[in-house]
Structure 1
Amino acid sequence: MWTGILLSALAMTAIIAGRYLASSGLFALVTNRVRPGYHAKLSGQIRREIAWSLASAAIYGIPAGVVAWGWQQRGWTLIYTGWNDYPLWYLPLAPFIYLLAHDSWFYWTHRWMHRPRPFRIAHAVHHASRPPTAWAAMSFHPWEALTGAVVIPALVLMVPIHVAMLGLVLLVMTVMGVTNHMGWEMFPRKLVHSALGGWLITASHHQRHHEEYRCNYGLYFRFWDRLCGTDRGLSETL
C-alpha cells in the first residue's frame, strides 16, 4: 500500500511540475513577443520563481497523489466517470462549486497571510516577484503552498464531480494562475471592462494587488473583495 501511495505522489508531483513548466513557459514566450524586454532584467528573479514553484509542485503532489491512489484503489473520493452517474445539469454546476469554494478559501487565507507575521514568514516569498511574471504562478513558500495544496483533495472527498469536469477545474486554475501574473492583460479590453469582467479577476485586477498589497485578494472572482470592501479596481499600469 505504502509503495503505491509513494509512487502515486511522485507521479502527481511530476505531472504538476510538468504542467507548471509547460504553462508558465508558454505564457512566458508569449510575453516575450507581446512585451519585448519585460523579462530582460529579471533573470535572477525568474530563477527563484522556478525554484520555489518546483518545491511547491512537490507539496501539491503529495496530497494529490494520496487522493489519486485512494480514488483508484479504495474508492475514497466522489470523483465519478459515468456521464449518467449524476443528472446532466449537475455537470457544469460542479466546477462552479469547486471554483467558488477554492476562491473563498483563497481569499481568506490570502488575506490572513497579509498580516505582519504570516507575511514575513511565508507570503513575502510570493511578493518578492516585482514585477510578477508568468513563472510566479506557483512561487510560494512551503507553508503557503500547503494551504493551497489541500483544497482540491479535500473537495473531491466532499463534492461529487465528473473526472472531465475536474480536469476543467484544473485547467482554469492553471490558466488563471499564470495569466494573472504575466504583467500584461491578455483578455480583450471589452471583456475586462464589461459587467461580467467586473466580477472576474484578470491580470489587470491582480496586478494592483502586487502594487498595493492591501487589496484585491481574490483568485477567480471579485465577490469577496467587493463584499468586504477590499476591491480597489484595476491597475493603471497595464
Structure 2
Amino acid sequence: MPALILSALAMIAIVAVRYVIVSGVFALVTARRLPGLYADRGAQIGREIGWSFAAAAIYGLPAGIVAWGWQAHGWTRIYADVNAMPLWWLPASVLLYLLAHDAWFYWTHRLMHDPRLFRRMHAVHHQSRPPTAWTAMSFHPWESLTGAVVIPTLVFVIPIHVAALGIVLSVMTFMGVTNHMGWEIFPDRLVKGAGGRWLITASHHQRHHVDYRCNYGLYFRFWDRLCGTDKGLGSFADAPRGPGRARRSA
C-alpha cells in the first residue's frame, strides 16, 4: 500500500510539474512573440491554473495506480525491452494510441456539448475567453475524469514500449498547450497546406472556441470531416473576450 500511494502521489506531481513547465514555457514564448496578448488575462489565468492543478490530481491518480501495477505486478502491456516487439511496432503503436485517443476525445467532447451536460462538465473549459497557454488542462473534475481514463486503459490493451508511451504523452501535452495559445505556432505552409487538412492546430481549434458546435477533434480532423462537424480554420481576431460565464452550447 505505501508503494501504491507513493506511485500515485509521484504521478500527480509529475503531471502538475509538466503542466507548469510546458504551459509556462509557451506563455513566455507568447509574451515574446505577441507582447501584451495576455495582459488583461490575470484573473482568467489564475482560474485556469487552479482548475488545472485539480485536473492534475485526477489525471495522476489512475496513472500512478497503473504505473505501480506495471512495475510491481506486470499488469499492463507496457514493455521495456525494445526487442520484445518488432521495431516497426514502435511508430505504429504511437500512431494507434493517438488515433484511439483522438476518437475517444472527439466523441466525449462532442457529447459534452449537449446542453444537458455542457454546464455540468465543459463550461469551465470554455470560460477561458479567449484561451491561453494555461488553458489546456483547465477542466471541471467531471471532464477531467473522461480524459484521465484513456491512456491508463489503452496500456492494458495495446502493447507499447515505455519510450513510445513517453512520446504519446509528450505529443498530448504539446498539442494541448499549443492549440490553446491564442495564436498559431505552426507556419502557414503546414496549417493551410496538405498537412493542415488532416492535422489539428491552434487555427482549427480556435474555431471551436468561437463557434462551439464544430471542430471537436484533438489531433486529427478525420472524425470532424467524417461527421460533418469540420468548419475549417478559425480567425484569432474573432476570439470572444471578457470575463463571465461561457455562452450556452445551444
Structure 1 Cα separation of the partners of residues 139 and 105 of structure 2: 13
Aligned to 1:74: 73
Unaligned runs of 5+ in 1: none
Structure 2 Cα separation of the partners of residues 172 and 124 of structure 1: 25
Structure 2 Cα separation of the partners of residues 109 and 18 of structure 1: 26
Residue deviations 1:160-199, cap 9 Å, x none? 0000100000000000000000000000110111112110
Residue deviations 1:91-140, cap 9 Å, x none? 10000000000000000000000001210111000000000001000000
Structure 2 Cα separation of the partners of residues 129 and 167 of structure 1: 28
* Aligned-residue offset at 1:73: 0.1
Aligned to 2:243: none
Structure 1 Cα separation of the partners of residues 123 and 210 of structure 2: 13
1:120 is aligned to 2:119: yes
Unaligned runs of 5+ in 2: 238-250
* Aligned-residue offset at 1:45: 0.2
Aligned to 1:17: 16
Percent identity for Structure 1 against Structure 2? 70
Aligned to 1:91: 90
The question of whether the paired residues in 1 share the 8 Å contact of 2:184 and 2:201 is answered with: yes
The question of whether the paired residues in 1 share the 8 Å contact of 2:206 and 2:235 is answered with: no
* 2:142 partner letter: W
Aligned to 1:177: 176
Residue deviations 1:63-100, cap 9 Å, x none? 00000000000000000111110011111000000000
* 1:65 partner letter: G
1:3 is aligned to 2:40: no
1:60 is aligned to 2:59: yes
Structure 2 Cα separation of the partners of residues 70 and 156 of structure 1: 11
Structure 2 Cα separation of the partners of residues 237 and 126 of structure 1: 18
1:198-217 superposed matches below 5 A:
198-217=197-216
Following TM superposition, where does structure 1 have runs of at least 4 consecutive aligned residues deviating by more than 2 angstroms?
Answer: none
The TM-score with structure 1 as length reference comes to: 0.98
1:34 is aligned to 2:39: no
Structure 2 Cα separation of the partners of residues 91 and 164 of structure 1: 9
How many residues in Structure 1 have an aligned counterpart in Structure 2?
A: 237
